[in-house]
Amino acid sequence: MSVAKQLYQLQEFDLELESNEQAQQKIAGQLGESKEIARVKEKLAAEQQHLEELNRQQQSAEWEIDDLTVRVKTSEDKLYGGAIKNPKELANLQHEVDELKDRRAQKEDGALEIMDRVELATANVATMSDELRRLEAEWQSQQKELSARLEQLKSARSDLTNKRELMLAEIEPQAIEVYLELRKQKGTAVARVEQGTCRGCQIALPSMELQQARSGNLVRCSSCGRILFLA
């Protein structure tokens, strides 16, 4: 194998290792807690708390209504029981009953409003719980896929690293030095030659250079300095 071809293959391993590394980093960023799930959980907890508070309000409104009903009954029993004959006392009692009934009616209106809000909050909690379950299921299967993909990438990387090591052992050290320096400077160190043109800089090569490159020796493009490789 010519040194140019060796270096070209080395570069292919290196470029693949780079993209492997990038893919692994991207996955690492996607693994772990989901911000969306955390946000929905927080909203759900707040709505559940709101619902509990409404339930307490409803309960206490019902107790107050029951209490008023008992007091209405007690006062009406006195009013219609016949034991009280004094007209002024009866008038006071009637007034008290009317007042209690007014208060109870107001409480009942309030209780109905609370009931509407309880219904709404209950529906909200159900919707959010469904949403949370859906997101969690989606997230779990996504995490599983990502973990599997990460394992694939890791095994591909170790395979590539081994092949690269074998390749490196076969290439003369001076050529490797030139290659590594060019990689650092330009990203791609070895450029293909196609139709007499260096694909690294897209400039047509003089025929002397082209001939030298054809020999497979380490020849560098006179325009961009990259190592030329003719397939």
- Give the residues lining the site for Zn ion (CB under 5 A): 198, 200-201, 221, 223-224
Distance, C-alpha 126 to centroid of its chain: 22
Q: List the 203-204 sheet strands across, edge first.
A: 203-204, 197-198, 190-194, 227-229
The answer to whether 4 and 190 have CB atoms below 8 angstroms apart is: yes
Shortest spacing between CB 205 and Zn ion, in angstroms: 8
Shortest spacing between CB 155 and Zn ion, in angstroms: 36
Shortest spacing between CB 181 and Zn ion, in angstroms: 16
Q: Which is nearer to Zn ion, 90 or 201 (CB)?
A: 201
Of 230, 208, 231, give the one whose Cα is nearest residue 222. Answer: 208
Taking the CA of residue 158 as centre, how many other CA atoms within 13 Å lie in the half-sphere pointing to its CB? Answer: 5
d(CA 194, CA 191): 9
Token pair of 228, please? 């030329």
Shortest spacing between CB 9 and Zn ion, in angstroms: 19
Taking the CA of residue 79 as centre, how many other CA atoms within 13 Å lie in the half-sphere pointing to its CB? Answer: 15
Q: Which is nearer to Zn ion, 132 or 210 (CB)?
A: 210
Token pair of 173, please? 């050290």
What SS3 state is found at 49?
Answer: helix
Q: Which is nearer to Zn ion, 17 or 224 (CB)?
A: 224
Shortest spacing between CB 18 and Zn ion, in angstroms: 21
Q: Which is nearer to Zn ion, 4 or 221 (CB)?
A: 221
Strands (DSSP E) contained in 48-194 are 190-194
Shortest spacing between CB 187 and Zn ion, in angstroms: 13
Q: Which is nearer to Zn ion, 38 or 204 (CB)?
A: 204
Q: Which is nearer to Zn ion, 47 or 200 (CB)?
A: 200
